[in-house]
Amino acid sequence: MPEEVFVNSIWVGLPIGTVVGPGMIIGTNAFGTITEGVAAVAPQGTVQVAAGTYNETVDIDKPFQLHGAQYGIDARTRSGNPAEESVVQGNIDSGIFFLISSIDSSSVVIDGFTIQNNTLGPGISANGAQSGFWFLNNIIQNNTIGLYLNSNGSIEGLVQQNLINNNNQTGPGGGNGIYSDQGFSNTLIDNNTFTNNQGTMTLIGGNTTPFENVVISNNETISDGGIFLLTCQNISILNNNFSNNSADAIFLSGGNDRITILNNILHFNTGNAINVQLDFTLVLNSNIRAKHNSIMGNTVAGLTVATGSYNDTAPNLKLDATNNWWGDPSGPNVNGGGPGTGQAIIDPDMVTLFFPFLTNDPLVPVPPLTPVQRLCSNTTNVYVASDRDMAVAAANLGIGTLAVEVPQFPTWPSLKKFVNDNNPVFGDVPDAITIWSSTTAPGQVLGFAAATNSFTLSAEGQILINLTAFADNAMEAQIDLVDATTNTLISTPPLGFLLLDGSMDPTPVILVPPFNWQTIRCYSITTGLIPAGLYKVIVSFTVVNYDQYMSFPNPAGLSFVADIYKVSI
């Protein structure tokens, strides 16, 4: 069979002779490393990288497209299975996996990779005079920094549909999903998920290296660290969900001008929703607009503006925080004096405009819910094993050891339907049965799991799971989403995380109320957006039965109810 040569289409990681399309047979354009493929491809060409693991640094010095095995597939919805990913990882001396290093490398696309485990530096470093980088559909995790960005901004850049997770290795800028201390402009950071980074993004500019015309939109943070801006100009923060993070959602450190914060959900962050300070510079912040945001439940305040941190001297404007929802129809509580009882505004210099405020939440509508299934614990659907992972595998395939019913202990709460329930949306379902293994013994630690029947999501949407559970004594719960066609777990945050209640040490003596064996646990979790398809939900538990104390009885049991809904978007 004749050998074809494609100077504009390079394949990496496939053996010689592999057929990749009509008339396309891997020959002289097949390479074992990404670096070799990059060296061989013509400018404006494409390097296509097969699934596999690549331990190398790739220095990019020309414009082209680099496609991983998951090219075009949203990283936020992928399982991250290494067998399906083009994984770039390893102990790299330079501390960089993808280095975009020269002005000739403008307009580079990196799409569809997993980039991970760099203990010495960033996963991707765009550090030079180049611009127009497009980083799409990548899982970027367990590096010192996820993305290190620096661009002259003459061509628009795009960071979109990436999962940027757990980039917390030590080092300069370490702990940030996105970090820059050199400035970039004309860049859209859109529709990414940031989770478990110490900081979502840190942008540090200056007179010669400013940040200008940057849009941060439609991103979601989960247990992350928030946005830090220093000496940035003309930044728009739009339509994001920055909630439940371990720091201020948005920290404006000083020298920032023309910052727009619009239509964001800023809920339950440790610190402030928005914090305006004067750190690391003598230049005051100016011309900040924060409007139409949903602000509530943050531990310090909805908005803090430190004394002497904001310049409202003409032609600069007051800090415009009008038309926000502050968590209560009465409005914000400003410097402890009202007018409302909602989230606080702390502003000793009174440079903030806050009236009018919104009297209802504009950004958290109740989406239409369609009931799918109710999963109640019983002796026909709950599998028991020596650990939770084995129980999940059994429930997923419907093969394994089923739990048995155990008697209801007098002090245990009982999960039963209301007799007068007049809205039985799931039809006639039985009460939850209290179950355990066939042997009950002090000090046991066992895994339990049950799966729903498969159900169809006919269009892109979300799945809501309301889980109510009781365990004697303590438990870890987990909720997973499964592709019911392949029986593959596809959970992404917030699913797939352990939900802990009580000490899992089987030896403690708990003598002070509330006792674990009198507690009902309630969890409500919504998936991210998932495509149409056939799915099922698995709920699973690790349950510990504490060692017996003196002569008190030592029963063990688990019961739960999981209600599954489709959420239309």
pLDDT for position 311: 97
- Residue 309 falls within a domain, yes or no? no
Domain extent for 54: 1-199
Separation CA 139–CA 81 (nearest Å): 11
pLDDT for position 388: 94
Q: Are 14 and 26 in contact (CB under 8 A)?
A: yes
pLDDT for position 524: 87
Residue type, 400: G
Q: b/e per residue, 18-33, with b = 16+ CB within 10 A?
A: eebeeeebbbebbbee
Residues with Cβ within 8 Å of residue 204, at least 6 apart in sequence? 180, 181, 228, 230, 231
Q: Of 199, 219, 254, which residue is a domain's last?
A: 199
Greatest extent of the chain over all pairs of C-alpha atoms, in Å: 83
**Assign residue 154 a region: left if phi > 0, alpha if psi is -120 to 50, beta otherwise?**
alpha
pLDDT for position 542: 94
Separation CA 472–CA 492 (nearest Å): 29
Among 280, 351, 286, 284, residue whose Cα is nearest residue 316 = 286
Among 116, 59, 111, 127, residue whose Cα is nearest residue 91 = 116
Angle at 68 between CA 529 and CA 59, to 5 degrees: 125
Q: Of 166, 199, 232, which residue is a domain's last?
A: 199
- Residue 71 falls within a domain, yes or no? yes
pLDDT for position 497: 80
Separation CA 552–CA 297 (nearest Å): 42
pLDDT for position 517: 67
Per-residue pLDDT of the chain (569 residues; tens, 9 = 90+): 233 344 467 777 766 556 555 444 454 456 778 888 888 888 888 999 999 899 888 888 888 899 999 999 999 989 888 899 999 986 555 556 667 655 555 678 999 999 998 888 888 888 764 677 899 999 999 999 999 887 766 778 899 999 999 998 766 657 899 998 877 778 899 999 999 999 999 998 865 666 678 999 999 998 899 999 999 999 999 999 999 899 999 999 999 999 999 999 999 999 999 999 999 999 999 999 999 999 999 999 999 999 999 999 999 999 999 999 999 999 999 999 999 999 999 999 999 999 999 998 988 766 678 889 999 999 999 999 999 999 999 999 999 999 999 988 887 888 877 655 555 567 667 788 999 999 888 889 999 999 999 999 988 888 999 999 999 888 899 999 999 999 999 887 778 888 877 778 887 666 665 566 678 888 888 888 889 999 999 999 999 988 866 566 778 999 999 999 998 76
Among 138, 56, 124, 122, residue whose Cα is nearest residue 89 = 56
- Residue 79 falls within a domain, yes or no? yes
Q: In angstroms, what is the C-alpha Rg of the chain?
A: 27
Q: Bridge-partner residues for 195, per DSSP? A: 165, 222
HSE-CB at 163 with a 13 A cutoff on CA atoms is 23
pLDDT for position 423: 53
- Residue 403 falls within a domain, yes or no? yes
- Residue 314 falls within a domain, yes or no? no
Q: Are 265 and 294 in contact (CB under 8 A)?
A: yes
pLDDT for position 209: 60
pLDDT for position 100: 63
C-alpha distances in Å from residue 247, one per residue of 124, 147, 190, 298: 25, 20, 21, 10
Could you give the number of structural domains in the chain?
2
pLDDT for position 195: 93
Give the CATH number, domain containing residue 377: 2.60.120
Peptide bond into 315 cis (omega under 30): yes
Among 187, 203, 179, residue whose Cα is nearest residue 154 = 187
C-alpha distances in Å from residue 385, one per residue of 287, 442, 479: 60, 16, 17
Q: Of 199, 230, 257, which residue is a domain's last?
A: 199
- Residue 209 falls within a domain, yes or no? no
- Residue 549 falls within a domain, yes or no? yes
Residue type, 188: L
- Residue 274 falls within a domain, yes or no? no
Separation CA 239–CA 293 (nearest Å): 9
pLDDT for position 485: 94
Residue type, 374: R
